[in-house]
Amino acid sequence: MGKSILITGGARSGKSALAERLTLGLGPAPIYIATAEAGDAEMAARIAEHQARRGAIWQTWERPDDLLAALRQSDGEAPRLVDCLTLWLSNRMFAGADWAGEAAEIARALPGLNAPVVFVTNEVGGGIVPENALARAFRDAAGRVNQIIAAACDEVYLTVAGYPVKVKPNAILP
Amino acid sequence: MGKSILITGGARSGKSALAERLTLGLGPAPIYIATAEAGDAEMAARIAEHQARRGAIWQTWERPDDLLAALRQSDGEAPRLVDCLTLWLSNRMFAGADWAGEAAEIARALPGLNAPVVFVTNEVGGGIVPENALARAFRDAAGRVNQIIAAACDEVYLTVAGYPVKVKPNAILP
Amino acid sequence: MGKSILITGGARSGKSALAERLTLGLGPAPIYIATAEAGDAEMAARIAEHQARRGAIWQTWERPDDLLAALRQSDGEAPRLVDCLTLWLSNRMFAGADWAGEAAEIARALPGLNAPVVFVTNEVGGGIVPENALARAFRDAAGRVNQIIAAACDEVYLTVAGYPVKVKPNAILP
């Protein structure tokens, strides 16, 4: 069974760079599973910046929707980096899908996968309660997805200013 | 003197589930001190969800305002869970009460209580500065209440994706 | 070479009080480098509150813009506290300056300084993505500045409810 790692953190806290570093340490020929869709110029610029940093040794799979299928189809020898769960959730909510059920299926599938997986996700619940009901629903959903996937992962880290804080395993809750 | 614990974290980070687990570990017949008022459908649904998860062994006290009295009146053998300080603060600010003075009184009373107390609170200061002056005042107040109660507690944890990070005691500041 | 420390955290999480305590432990006659401008009553009140807490042993330098020059000019025996990087960034963005280049210059200069420096900064990326494009740009910039300075500092702490969580050095990334 491949190791599974979840990396969470606020915006620009160094999540993706840490995830790339950890993924490269888990084996050669890594696969980057991108959940983003380059819908606007801001997002396209961010995708291009991430690709330039990663360089040519990565294979990129663009999978904004069926993440479980992507994990199964890519399950060979190479480590996978899923960047990120929050955009995947946003895509699934927008499509009216059963995102909670899908996240639970991914969590159940993880122990059966051969190759390692590193997930990137976002902390979005640390600010004032949003006035907008959709924003409140999204931050609740994002927190639930983070908990569902974290429970199934071997390791969880919180990035702060580019550095990881170990969240799981720890001495309080294994 | 009963042990006192503060659990803080973002929305849907697993605060209440951890608090329930820790409270159950502190003794039988736990008391749940609810500071929420079921003012709208969203909050009523959240309260119902929490009650269903806790189950019948808990006794529930609804105390949206006089938290210190609730802690004194419930101070027997059973551990107490206060969920949550942020809603209590919101109720006290809305009522025009001296919330800072009341929080300081609770902090002073803690060492004299017999039965353990677990407090749940929220991290609300990790986003962009709110444009709304009331929201800014609330997040400042919430941070102050967290500091006042944390200073009087034996242990403080930050929940991330369902797992606790130890904040107090630690090697830097006891 | 003087020790350099970065302290980050949400609003009212105890950053400044910890920074003052750590700075006082690094030597006598500390210098407070204030990046705030008392532009409105709310900010003026906050500055006055911080000054009252610090007391008379601190020398205050008000330097909202050229932080690198302030660090070089104040580089004698006394420890310095820079409070805070987020306001400095805000001032530099508002002035149309090359804030990223200036932050990188500060990072490069740090190993050559004699006297210790403690930086205070803010976590602003832990909430929902702001609707406002300027707010999104600011939180991205703030995260980048935090990473740039953290990479050059000897120690990094995250404050939560008045207590520090160690971020750097740690066993995962030194």
What tens digit of pLDDT does each residue of C76-116 get?
999 999 999 999 999 999 999 999 999 999 999 999 999 99
* pLDDT at site C74: 98
Q: Is B159 in contact with B14 (CB distance < 8 Å)?
A: yes
What tens digit of pLDDT does each residue of B75-85 get?
999 999 999 99
**Residue among A11, A13, A166 minimizing CB distance to C172:** A166
A16 is in an annotated binding site: yes
Distance of CA A125 to the CA centre of its chain: 16
What tens digit of pLDDT does each residue of C83-94 get?
999 999 999 999
How close C159 gets to chain B, by Cα (Å)?
A: 9
Q: Is C9 in contact with C125 (CB distance < 8 Å)?
A: no
Cross-chain residue pair A10–C124, CB shorter than 8 Å: yes
Neighbours of B166 (CB within 10 A): 15
Residues of A at the C interface, defined by Cβ within 8 angstroms? 9-14, 18, 42, 123-128, 130, 135, 138-139, 157, 160-166
Chains that touch B (3 or more CB pairs under 8 A): A, C
Select from A74, A23, A12 the least CA-distant residue to A49. Answer: A12
Sheet containing A155-160: which strands, arranged edge to edge? A59-62, A31-34, A80-83, A117-120, A4-9, A155-160, A163-168
**pLDDT higher than 90, residue B46:** no
Sketch out chain A's domains with CATH numbers: 4-168 (3.40.50.300)
B90 is annotated as an active-site residue: no
* pLDDT at site A117: 98
Cross-chain residue pair B150–C135, CB shorter than 8 Å: no
Distance of CA A42 to the CA centre of its chain: 20
The DSSP 8-state label assigned to residue B112 in this structure reads G
Mutation target vs B (from A123, A157, A159; most B CBs, 10 A cutoff): A123
**Residue among A11, A139, A165 minimizing CB distance to C143:** A11
CA atoms of C135 and C128, how far apart (whole Å)? 11
Mutation target vs B (from C7, C8, C12; most B CBs, 10 A cutoff): C12
Find all residues with CB under 8 Å of C39, minimum gap 6, and list them.
none
Find all residues with CB under 8 Å of C64, minimum gap 6, and list them.
C34, C35, C36, C37, C87, C88, C91
Mean pLDDT, rounded, of chain A: 94
State the sign of the Cα–Cα–Cα–Cα dihedral A87, A91, A93, A94.
Answer: positive
Active-site pick, A6, A8, A50, A88: A50
B72 is in an annotated binding site: no
What tens digit of pLDDT does each residue of B92-135 get?
999 999 999 999 999 999 999 999 999 999 999 999 999 999 99
Q: Is C123 in contact with A162 (CB distance < 8 Å)?
A: no
Sheet containing B163-168: which strands, arranged edge to edge? B59-62, B31-34, B80-83, B117-120, B4-9, B155-160, B163-168
Residues of B at the C interface, defined by Cβ within 8 angstroms? 6, 8, 10, 121, 123-129, 133, 136, 139-140, 142-144, 146-147, 149-151, 156, 158, 165, 167-168, 170-173
What tens digit of pLDDT does each residue of A61-112 get?
999 999 999 999 999 999 999 999 999 999 999 999 999 999 999 999 999 9
Find all residues with CB under 8 Å of A38, minimum gap 6, and list them.
A44, A47
Neighbours of C91 (CB within 10 A): 18
**Strand duo A163-168 + A155-160: pairing:** antiparallel
Chains that touch A (3 or more CB pairs under 8 A): B, C
CA atoms of B60 and A100, how far apart (whole Å)? 29
Q: Which helix (H) or strand (E) holds C134?
A: helix C133-152
**pLDDT higher than 90, residue B26:** yes
* pLDDT at site B67: 98
Q: Which helix (H) or strand (E) holds C142?
A: helix C133-152
CA atoms of B148 and B136, how far apart (whole Å)? 18
